[in-house]
Structure 1
Amino acid sequence: MGARAVLDACKARGVMLATAESCTGGMVAAALTEIAGSSAVVERGFVTYSNAAKMEMLGVRAATLEAHGAVSEPVAREMADGALARSRAQIAVSITGIAGPGGSDHKPEGRVCFGLARESTPTRVETVEFGALGRDKVRQAACAHALALLLSAAQA
């Protein structure tokens, strides 16, 4: 239901979306574009796995990465804002996190930061602690959460 509901809600409101993904590696864009007719809604997706890609493709500032690290709400905010600014979309979601295995005491496995940018609306950010579920499950959970954020934005 998730991806189809997002597409239906965006189509009903005449809005397009963009994704900016790090730890999910394009899973959100793939879930959306798996559905026929998604080109009416999905404007583009950015897979920015490295810090260099985040800076070059989305305009994330080096100072933000240095001060907070890639897995942080400030970086998620700049990723979402950058995706919105560098596309023709009206809604953009960003995902950056630690899918595992591994992590640290400061940034544990399963921590994922999300950004949600919309035209003429302050960008929202949040962190979800999915826990050490294993790489695949963290990525799946992050994808599902990003789709839920997009749905909420499309219905607002």
Structure 2
Amino acid sequence: MNLDDLYLQRLAARTGAILLDRDWRLVTAESCTGGWIAKTLTDVPGCSSWYLGGVVTYSNALKQTLLGVRPSTLAVHGAVSEACAREMALGALKSLGGQVAVAVTGIAGPGGGQPGKPVGTVWFGWAWQADRNETGRIETGRTRTHVAMETFAGDREAVRRSTVDRALAELARLA
């Protein structure tokens, strides 16, 4: 599949239409993509009706102060981890508002890989306000999360493009 800018913009527009239909507002927390998800979303005319904004947190210090990622999470699991992606998504909802958040943290390369976390490793976190529990009973104020990990091939740009694609495609599926 060709993940060019036009493809990503169409995916963002489709995702935005789903969010608008649900009356959900999206926020983003990005590390390895450096704001590319936000850029893709804001390429869509009218996105302000479903996209509130986001943060780029490359440093662990900003992950902690802006998104509430716990120091113990970073110490035990590292920034490129399931726990960090989940806390980034939850922190984005808490700090930025909205009804749904997507967070990404990973190693885009060309350097930075390590045993167990090669270049191309990306953790994703999605969090959303849920108004129904597993039995279908309405419970306001509940937040649900979903996390996933991918290892993408290619150079830095390819890893980042693939990350944007996966983040938005899964967001559309979850919404």
TM-score by length of 1: 0.95
Aligned to 2:138: none
Aligned length: 153
- In the TM superposition, 1:61-80 aligns within 5 A as 61-80=70-89
- Greater Rg over alpha carbons, structure: 2
Aligned to 2:157: 136
> What is the alpha-carbon distance in structure 1 between the residues aligned to residue 158 and residue 51 of structure 2?
24
> What is the alpha-carbon distance in structure 1 between the residues aligned to residue 65 and residue 97 of structure 2?
18
Say whether 1:114 aligns with 2:127.
no
Provide structure 2 residue ranges, at least 5 long, that are not aligned to the other structure: 1-9, 131-142
Q: What is the RMSD computed on CA atoms of the aligned residues?
A: 0.9
Q: Structure 1 residue 72: deviation in Å?
A: 0.2
> What is the alpha-carbon distance in structure 2 between the residues aligned to residue 129 and residue 92 of structure 1?
21
Aligned to 1:14: 23
Provide structure 1 residue ranges, at least 5 long, that are not aligned to the other structure: none
Q: Structure 1 residue 153: deviation in Å?
A: 2.4
- In the TM superposition, 1:48-87 aligns within 5 A as 48-87=57-96
Say whether 1:127 aligns with 2:122.
no
Kindly provide the amino acid, as one letter, of the partner of residue 105 in structure 2. Answer: T
Q: Structure 1 residue 114: deviation in Å?
A: 0.2
Q: Is the 8 A contact 1:91 1:153 kept in 2?
A: no
Q: Structure 1 residue 11: deviation in Å?
A: 0.9
Runs (4 or more) in structure 1 with deviation over 3 Å come to none
> What is the alpha-carbon distance in structure 2 between the residues aligned to residue 12 and residue 150 of structure 1?
14
Instruction: Between the two structures, name the one with larger relative contact order (CA 8 Å, sep ≥ 6).
Output: 1
Percent identity among equivalent residues?
48
TM-score by length of 2: 0.85
